[in-house]
Every structure is written in C-alpha cells, then in structure tokens.
Chains A and B, each alone.
Chain A
C-alpha cells in the first residue's frame, strides 16, 4: 500500500508542479480575498475574533478549489480506470490524495499566512507562530481527509463543481469553529492561550473521525 500511495502522491505533485493549476489558483484566491476584506471592512487592521474568522473562512474557501481539482487528472485522463485496473488498495488512493491536498494547503499557507499578517493583522504573528502552526497542521489534516473523501464522491458526477462546495463546507463547520476559537487568543493584542488544549483536542478528534470514516467508505466511492 505504501509503495502505491507514494507513486500516486509523487505523480500528483509532479503534475501540479508542471501544470501549476491548483496551488497558484488557491494562493491567488486567498490573497484576493484578504485584499477584499482589507477594503471591504475599511479597517487598517483586524484582531481577535474577526481576524480569526477572516483567516479561517478564507483558507477553507481556498481549499474548495484544491478539492475540486484533486481528481481532475484522473477524471480527464483516465487515471481512475488505470487505478481500478491495478492491484492497488483503495486506501492507498485515499492516503495519496489526502497527502497531496495536505501538501498543497501547506504551500498556500506559506504565502497566505504572512500576507494575512501584512495586509490585515494588527498584532503581528511572530509571538504565536508555534501555536498557529500546530493549529494549521491539525486543520490541514482534517481538510485533507474530508477533502479527499468529497473529491472522490464528486469525481464521477457531472455537477462536481457544485457538489464539492455543497458537501465540503458543511462538513468543515466543526473544524472551522475549532480553528477559529483556537486561533483567536493568538490574534489579539494581549496574546495568550485560552482553552487551546480543548480546541486542539476537538481538532484531533475531528481528524481521527474523518480519517477513519474516509478509509471505511473509500472502497465504495469509485465503484460503478
């Protein structure tokens, strides 16, 4: 399973590196939304709950783009058939697709987070970076698991551009709540942890539930 998962992941990243489709689009979307908030809210800087909400809603909406494109090469170039004809455990496909989305989210965040700090954030990110990175890592894992599941569900449907956000965003609500609540204290002027452990625990629980759920149902998603 590991060999197949690595082969699929390597192939996905190579195609993304050459086509430059998903990551640049997600990054550009994120930056554009931050600029829109900057002018739309007519404020030089944000902090606390508002900053946390803007940060996470934007990142999760950007993830929709990545999820919509996650099976694009398989769908458009017969990759799914190639995988179904090979003696590959479907769990390997799930792991590879989730890992691929995880890597893409990290690449977007490497640009989006500093941009958020520059364009919108009052207090600055420096002091709270380790905690924010931990929250981002758990969030990315959850988005990757749910995203791979939703992408596979939508892969063979005609209205996949509609189905992905309609399925994905409601499933991400618990993750959004936990991320926004966990990040909020670190985005205030008087930075300090408040119930961080509780929210990280909720994020971990979310990740575990959706990884297990995805592994359990992934076998049936690509069936005729």
Chain B
C-alpha cells in the first residue's frame, strides 16, 4: 500500500509558485529522498505532507488521507523534524518531551527512555535555551519520534550532529527505524544511498535526471 501518493501537486504563496507538477509514489516502509537547491520547494513539500500547508492543486494522499479535506486524519501519525526544533526554550528537555507526550497520549516512561536513547538524560533538566544546537537537535529527534509515527518527515535531520550523535540516532530516524520516511538533505550521496525513491526538484518543479540542481 502506498503511504504517499502525489499527482501533479501544486502549492503557491500568493502569486509565487512554490511547487508545481510534483508526482511521486512511496510505499509503506520506503524512504523518499527529496533533492534540490535552496528554494527548490523541499520544505514546502514536507509541510504539505505534514498537513501544515494546503495543497492548491493536483492530488495528494498521505497515509490514506486525501489532502486537504482529510487533513484531520493526520495529526498523531506524522513525526515532523523541520528547521525549527518545536521546543520551548524556557522549558527543559524533559518538560518539553513530557508536554508533547501528554498531547499525544504517550506514557511518561517513554520520555525517559527516549532521553536516554538520544543521549540527553544527563542534561534533561536544563532549559533548552542553554543547550548547544546539536543537543537541541537530539531533543528535536526525540520529540519527532515520541509518538511512534507511521511517517517521518525529516528536513536535514543530521544538521548540527557530530558523527557519534548521528550514529546514535540512526535506530530512531534511520532506515533501521522501519518507518516510511521523507528525507531532505544537502548530503546528496548519503541521502541517495539510504533512499528507495528519489524526487529531484528545481524551483518547485520536478527536474530531469541530467539536470543540474544546484545552479
């Protein structure tokens, strides 16, 4: 069964076209790599798939929900790791995760297990504003997978992580997690190596295989 089906997807910001003619099909458990330069529409695509932005044209079906009409079906099924960590700076890592756990109806024990899994148990009581970017990213990963989502939308998931931390997070967000994933990264080779389906975007439109994406 397809986890994601896009057919001629369109999204505009006012007059500006951010996505047009985007079509792709991703089966359950597969990884979709979205490649493209700055402004190619990668983040917009992730936000449409998360149900945070309405598509303006074409067809989009995510986890069986037709967008935008059935967007209400998505909350709780998607783990979203975007540019912002979605963590409150004045709260500690543990308080942030406990807050999201309550919103998702997740048992509190999972918070401690995840803090341990991302290597943040020691600093779990520190306010997020006092943590390094890498530590915040680890907490953001924990937040994204807290509710065991069926679909992971990952925008530069390894940004700010040292190699040891990146390796530590692999079971949570890597191919080993077994989840359907959409992966956006500027690490072209690494991303392609761990993907089953590749979508190349240039200025919001699908690019041909031989087309240079980063000029």
Taking Cβ atoms with an 8 Å cutoff, the residues of A that contact B are 3-4, 6-8, 10-11, 14-15, 18-19, 73, 77-79, 81-88, 223-224
Q: A15-B90, A78-B84, A224-B52 are in contact. List 7 more A-B contacts (CB 8 A).
A: A18-B90, A18-B127, A77-B89, A78-B85, A81-B82, A85-B76, A86-B76
**Binding-face segment, B94-102, B177-185, B200-208:** B94-102
Minimum Cβ distance to chain B for residue A84 (Å): 6
Residue B165 interfacial (CB < 8 Å): no
B interface residues, how many (CB within 8 angstroms) = 28
Residues of B close to A3: CB separation below 8 A: 102, 105
Closest to A84 in B: B52
Residues of A close to B104: CB separation below 8 A: 86-87
Choose from A4, A73, A224 the contact partner of B103 (Cβ within 8 Å).
A4
Residues of A close to B86: CB separation below 8 A: 77-79, 81-82, 85
Choose from A7, A77, A87, A88 the contact partner of B88 (Cβ within 8 Å).
A77
Closest to A11 in B: B99
Q: Determine whether the beta carbon of A7 is less than 8 Å from that of B52.
A: no
Q: Determine whether the beta carbon of B90 is less than 8 Å from that of A88.
A: no
List 4 A-B pairs, minimum CB-CB distance, nearest first.
A87-B76, A7-B102, A86-B103, A78-B84
Residues of A close to B52: CB separation below 8 A: 81, 84-85, 224
Interface flags for B163-204 (1: CB within 8 Å of A; 0: not) read: 000000000000000000000000000000000000000000
Residues of A close to B51: CB separation below 8 A: 84-85
